[in-house]
């Protein structure tokens, strides 16, 4: 849709921020036990996942080290899907893994595209 082309960067930035916030909130559930979550020790897989999500979410959201943060987040979501969801069945709609799959591929796209024009990465690039 050509009429949306001028809004490419703001729409991408909004998508990046919203997805990062959702991801970070899942991290807070695991790391701090808030939002109806359960706090897991850092020595467990879910504890590590919680802290990754808590740290990587804001990086992706503000667009700082975006490609690396999104790449690691994508891998974490893939790992989480195959470790936590896939054993309950192969279909994401049936095993509760649909959010993990969606975030995995969204973060992979963000990793390839980078932070975009409305990001800390873009500001840093301009100053060099």
State how far the alpha carbon of 82 is from the alpha carbons of 1, 11, 46, 57, in Å: 36, 30, 13, 21
- Burial label, 53 (beta-carbon count in 10 A; 0-12, 13-18, 19+): buried
User: What pTM was computed for the model?
Assistant: 0.95
pLDDT at 3: 94
Both tokens assigned to 68: 């690396």
What does the angle CA 121 – CA 122 – CA 125 come to, to the nearest 5 degrees?
A: 85
Mean pLDDT of 20-29: 98
Residue 92 — pLDDT band, cuts 50, 70, 90? very high
Of residues 19, 16, 54, 15, the one with CA closest to residue 34: 54
């Amino acid at each position: 849709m050509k009429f949306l082309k001028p809004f490419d960067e703001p729409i991408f930035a909004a998508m990046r921020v919203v997805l990062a916030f959702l991801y970070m909130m899942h991290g807070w559930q695991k790391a701090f036990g808030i939002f109806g979550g359960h706090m897991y020790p850092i020595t467990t897989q879910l504890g590590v996942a919680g802290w990754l999500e808590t740290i990587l979410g804001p990086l992706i959201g503000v667009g700082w080290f975006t490609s690396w943060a999104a790449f690691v987040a994508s891998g974490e979501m893939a790992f989480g899907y195959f470790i936590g969801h896939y054993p309950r069945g192969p279909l994401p709609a049936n095993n509760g893994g649909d959010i993990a799959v969606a975030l995995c591929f969204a973060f992979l796209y963000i990793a390839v595209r980078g932070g975009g024009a409305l990001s800390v990465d873009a500001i840093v690039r301009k100053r060099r």
